[in-house]
Structure 1
Amino acid sequence: MAVSVYIPLVVTVVLAVLAPRAARRLPPRPAAWSLACAALVSATGWLGSLALLAFTGFAQIPEVAREGHWSVSALRAEDPVSFAVVTVSALALAAGVLSLGVAAVRQVRHVLWARKECARVPGVTELAVLDDDLPQAFALPGSPGRIVVTRGMLRCLDDREREALLAHERAHLRARHYLFQALWRLTAAVNPLLRPMAGAGAFVLERWADEEAATHVGSRTLVARAVGRAALASSAVARATALAATGGAVPQRVRALLAPPPPRRTLPLALGALMLTVCCASLANAASDSDRMVERAQRAQCAAQTSAGNALGGAPTPQAFDECCAHRGHRHH
């Protein structure tokens, strides 16, 4: 446990630095899924490692040791974690769990807001056109989701550009990109180091929708022109709560659309999968080591109690030790 418990923390830091840069160079769809997996596994490993480190100090509290029926001295003899590390881990764990709760409440409110907005949008079809001069176009997630476009936005685009814009927003709804956004926001709440993944994820989702739109209309240049004109028209209008073709780094998206489609790269994905596997394996190994450490401390406590109980009658017998272990809820191997 002395080494393996820290590996998920190191993997999280490395992924937080490298994953956003790699994702921007990959095809957007596999990049989005890779970022989602990396964020989820990293956040889980982060919380798991902090919990194991905090437990090593929590378990040495005499009152806790009495309830767990293990020896504090035996636990301290095997535990290599310093008090400072335990304290920092416990505080970071508490902050992460609290922040996760707050972020989860915000996500629930966002879902409720989206459903309410969907219900307020006139009409029953997927596309809703608002009689508004402000140029806006965005997708509202719901059951089902809605694509909202104002007449001001439609006047800024020609027929083919409108088709590209609608294909972009439809791709957001069809691929359920709002679920990716929710995942990245929750994991970033658990660990602020994962915030770059959320930022890169937002860009990758827009690129994903751009590529889907380009496939639908059969022209990457057309989508680039539609995205650029829509962004210029709606530059004074910000909608951070909805998926929109005008979101993300528009100049970078336009450059990507004017260039050939990004090639498939297996090496970054393979390296990322390897790091996530190492993270999971290390966390499982650390948890197993922690369980064995507690079991040995329980056996030490049983041995001490058996010795004390048989002090007047001679040396402790194996039968008495086995009875103590059975009473404490574990077996002697």
Structure 2
Amino acid sequence: MRVFVYATLLFPATAMPLARLATARLHPRHAAWLLSASAVVLAGTSCGALGLLVIAELVRIPELARLAHLSRRAIVSNDSTSSAVAATAGILLGAALLAALTFAVARIRALAAAFGHARALPGRRSLVITEDEVADAYTVPGRPGRIVVSTAMLEALDEPGRRALLAHEMAHVRGRHYIFAAAARLAAAANPLVRPLAGAVDYAMERWADEYAADELGDRRQVATAIATAAIATKRTRPHRRSAPVLGAVFGRPDESRADGAGPVPRRVAALLSPAPCTSPFALGVALSVIALAGFCALEATDDLRELIALARMERHR
């Protein structure tokens, strides 16, 4: 069990290169799906591996081994996991479960508040225009999801820019992007090593919405201009949003910025001024291979523990 369980624990270290590969070589829609799935798989398998180490130690306890009808001698002789390693795994697993539960509760409450806010917004149409001197635009998840745009933002944009903005926000609503963000953030709460994937998911969703708007307008440069103009207007008036979670048309979270200092807005504008993105089969294959290998190692580690327990049970009944 040792080789596969430790290999499973190492896979979350691939989060950073995987995030960079997906955002650079995959279409944003594919990147959002793949990165959120990768975050869940890598966090889930690593937490599962910690659980296997804990179980391997628990069955060594004479009282538990006797209750489970297992031969403790067979377990000790066939598994070399140390008590210190198992104790560390137990602490890490407990911390991961507590962090994930805390995040899940907070996110459920935030989503409930957002759904309530969406219902409370005036009118029944998806678009809600607010009389506000603060330039802002965002989506609120709900049934239906709502697009909130301030009059100041509309005044800052020309007619094509307004259409680009609304198309971008509609992509968030139709794609239910808040689900991708929630899944990736939950995984990052359970295992901090996958946080680069969560940040990359946020950026990929904004790029996904940008590309949707570019397809709707048929003019990539116009969408890039709208994003830049909206960013300037938003920065000047600095909106303060009270409902969460929301998805913004302009600004992402701070951790979307790269180490070289390039923020998400300049990157998005630069991407729109370049040819339309496409998915590299090679990059997609590499990313899927990482997920598949992590799952394979987790399954093999689980099977090794199953065989160990089966052997211990057989020895006990001899």
TM-score by shorter chain over 0.5? yes
Tell me how far apart the structure 1 counterparts of residues 278 and 240 of structure 2 sit (CA, whole Å): 32
In structure 2, C-alpha distance between the alignment counterparts of 1:234 and 1:171, rounded to whole Å: 20
Question: Computing the radius of gyration over CA atoms, which structure comes out larger, 1 or 2?
Answer: 1
- The answer to which of 194-203 and 279-288 deviates more is 279-288
Q: Which residue of 1 is the match for residue 100 of structure 2? A: 100
Is 1:267 the counterpart of 2:269? The answer is: no
1:278 pairs with one of 280, 283, 293: 293
Report Cα offsets for 1:104-124 as digits up to 9, x if no partner. 101101111111111221111
CA displacement at 1:178 relative to structure 2: 0.5
Partner SS for 2:251: coil
Counterpart amino acid of residue 64 in structure 1: L
Pair 1:20 & 2:19 matched: yes
Rounded Cα–Cα distance in structure 1 between residues aligned with 2:240 and 2:60: 53
User: SS of 2:248's equivalent?
Assistant: coil
Inter-partner Cα distance in structure 2 for 1:274 and 1:21: 16
The match for 1:296 is: 311
Percent identity over the alignment is 39
**Distance of 1:30 and 1:297 partners within structure 2:** 46
CA distance, structure 2, for counterparts of residue 275 and residue 194 of structure 1: 13
- Which residue number corresponds to residue 237 of structure 1? 239
Partner residue in 2 for 1:193: 193
Secondary structure of 2:149's aligned partner:
strand
Cα distance in 2, alignment partners of residues 9 and 18 from structure 1: 16
2:225 & 2:240 partners in 1: Cα distance?
Answer: 20
Q: Which residue of 2 aligns with 1:71?
A: 71
Q: Within 5 A, what are the aligned runs for 1:1-333? A: 1-14=1-14, 16-25=15-24, 26-235=26-235, 236-239=238-241, 241-248=245-252, 249-303=264-318
- Greater RCO between the two (CA within 8 Å, min separation 6)? 2
Q: Give me the whole-angstrom Cα distance separating, in 1, the residues matched to 2:16 and 2:8.
A: 14
Asked if 2 retains the 8 angstrom alpha-carbon contact of 1:206 and 1:247, the reply is no
The alignment of Structure 1 onto Structure 2 pairs a total of residues equal to: 302
Deviations 1:160-215 (A, max 9, x none): 10010000000001111000000011000110001111111111100000000000
Task: Output the amino acid matched with 2:134.
Answer: L
Amino acid at match of 1:32: A
- For 1:99-158, what per-residue CA distance to the aligned partner results, in whole angstroms no more than 9, with x for missing partners? 111111011011111111112211111101111111111011111100001111111111
Give per-residue Cα distances to partners, 1:37-67, cap 9 Å, x unaligned: 2112111211111111111111111221121
The residue matched to 2:134 in structure 1 has which SS?
coil
**Can you give the 5+ residue segments of structure 2 that lack an aligned partner in the other structure?**
253-263
Contact 1:8-1:283 at 8 Å conserved across structures: yes
TM-score by length of 1: 0.88
RMSD: 1.2
Distance in structure 2 (CA, Å) of the matches to 1:260 and 1:238: 34
Structure 1 residue 238: deviation in Å? 4.9
- TM-score normalised by L of structure 2: 0.92
Q: Distance in 2 between matches of 1:192 and 1:34?
A: 18
1:78 deviation in Å?
0.8
Structure 1 stretches lacking a partner, 5+ long: 304-333
**CA distance in structure 2 between the aligned counterparts of 1:264 and 1:293, rounded to whole angstroms:** 43
Report the alpha carbon displacement of residue 2 of structure 1 after superposing the two structures with TM: 2.0
The residue type paired with residue 113 of structure 2 is: W
Report the AA paired with residue 18 of structure 1: P
Deviation of 1:27 after TM superposition, in Å, equals 1.4
